[in-house]
Amino acid sequence: MRDKEDERVDGSRRTWLIATTVAGGIGGVATVVPFVSSFAPSEKAKAAGAPVEVDISDLKPGDMKTVAWRGKPVWIINRTDKMLADVQKADNEVADPHTKNPFSMPLPEYCNNEFRSRADHKNLFVAVAVCTHLGCTPTPRFQEGAQPNLPDDWPGGFLCPCHGSTYDMAGRVFKNKPAPQNLDIPPYMFTSATGLVIGKDEKGEA
């Protein structure tokens, strides 16, 4: 008689243990999911400097796109052949044609050329849109020729509305302007024919 009671007790205990284990397993899975998802970059992490992926499939010649990286605007410009020719024309007019005196970050080695872009995508210009004078955001003035606040022989580029600093189509500051340095070029790389990532290159994240 005692054995049958023990069997019932053991059976009840076994059922309780199985139920507890299953419930615990479900609870464990529920706690793992949010933990795993926490590995995805947050908006705060992106603002702190996480790389930013950009789709450039809709960027036609002459168009510009602006994205945020590290809380700053970054330009991506698909320069036309005429814009590239204007860069060459401006070589003698800019203060630091070879960016020997970078602003807040070193010039990536792959952009150490006349167009300050990757040789295999020389038409695509990527730059931090922050004036090196007092941090204003320059405005695009791609049209050539005389315009308000610009010289009559203006080759096309950017004008800072705060104190009149001007930059060419490679982000190089013109001579005798308040801004002392060229615009920063962030690390970047192409991930496909229509995509690039800013803040990361073959050497890793910035």
**CATH number of the domain within which 132 lies:** 2.102.10.10
Mean pLDDT by 10 residues, the chain (206 residues): 48 48 43 38 58 96 96 97 94 95 95 96 97 95 90 93 95 97 97 95 84
Q: Which residues lie below 8 Å from residue 95, measured CB to CB, with a gap of 6+?
A: 172, 173, 174, 175, 176, 177, 180
DSSP state of 135: S
Residues 104 and 179 in one domain: yes
Please state the pTM of the whole predicted model: 0.76
Residues 128 and 65 in one domain: yes
- pLDDT, position 34: 38
Residues 17 and 67 in one domain: no
Residues 24 and 59 in one domain: no
- pLDDT, position 125: 98
Quote the number of domains for the chain: 2
- pLDDT, position 204: 82
Domain limits at 103?
44-205
- pLDDT, position 159: 96
Residues 123 and 184 in one domain: yes
Asked if residues 185 and 108 have their Cβ atoms less than 8 Å apart, the reply is yes
Residues 20 and 51 in one domain: no
Helices (H), the chain: 2-37, 43-48, 81-89
